[in-house]
Amino acid sequence: MNRLTKNLMLALIAGLTTQLAVAAANVATVNGKAIPQAYADALLALQKAKGAPDSNQLRGEVREALVKREILLQAAAKSGIDKKAEVATQMEMAQQSVLINAYLQSFVASNEVTDAQVRATYDEIKSRTGDTEYKVSHILVEDEAGARALIAKLKAGEKFDELAKAHSKDPGSKDKGGELGWSNPGMYVPTFSEAMVKLAKGQMTTEPVKSNFGFHIIKVDDTRTADLLKPFEELAPQLKQRLQAQRVEQHILELRTAAKVE
Quote the crossing angle between the two packed helices 232-258 and 115-128, to the nearest 10°.
100
User: What HEC string does the chain produce?
Assistant: CCHHHHHHHHHHHHHHHHHHHHHHCEEEEECCEEEEHHHHHHHHHHHHHCCCCCCHHHHHHHHHHHHHHHHHHHHHHHHCHHHCHHHHHHHHHHHHHHHHHHHHHHHHHHCCCCHHHHHHHHHHHHHHCCCEEEEEEEEEECCHHHHHHHHHHHHCCCCHHHHHHHHCCCCCCHHHCCEEEEECHHHCCHHHHHHHCCCCCCCECCCCEEECCEEEEEEEEEEEECCCCCCHHHHHHHHHHHHHHHHHHHHHHHHHHHCCCC
Please give the pLDDT value at position 46: 86
Give the residue extent of every domain in the chain: 3-83, 115-258
- Going residue by residue through the chain, which has 262 residues, state the pLDDT in tens, using 9 for 90 and above: 555 445 444 444 444 434 434 445 888 999 999 999 999 888 888 888 888 898 999 899 989 999 999 999 999 999 999 889 999 999 999 999 999 999 999 999 999 999 999 999 988 887 776 678 899 999 999 999 999 999 999 999 999 999 999 999 998 899 999 999 998 887 899 999 999 999 999 999 999 999 999 999 999 999 998 665 788 899 999 999 999 999 999 999 999 899 898 8
Q: Is CATH 3.30.70.270 what the domain over 115-258 is classified as, yes or no?
A: no
pLDDT tens for residues 65-100?
999 999 999 999 999 998 899 999 999 999 999 999
Whether pTM > 0.85 for this model: the answer is: no
If one counts every other C-beta atom within 10 angstroms of the C-beta of residue 252, the result is: 12
Q: What is the pLDDT of residue 227?
A: 61
Question: What one-letter code names the amino acid at 174?
Answer: K
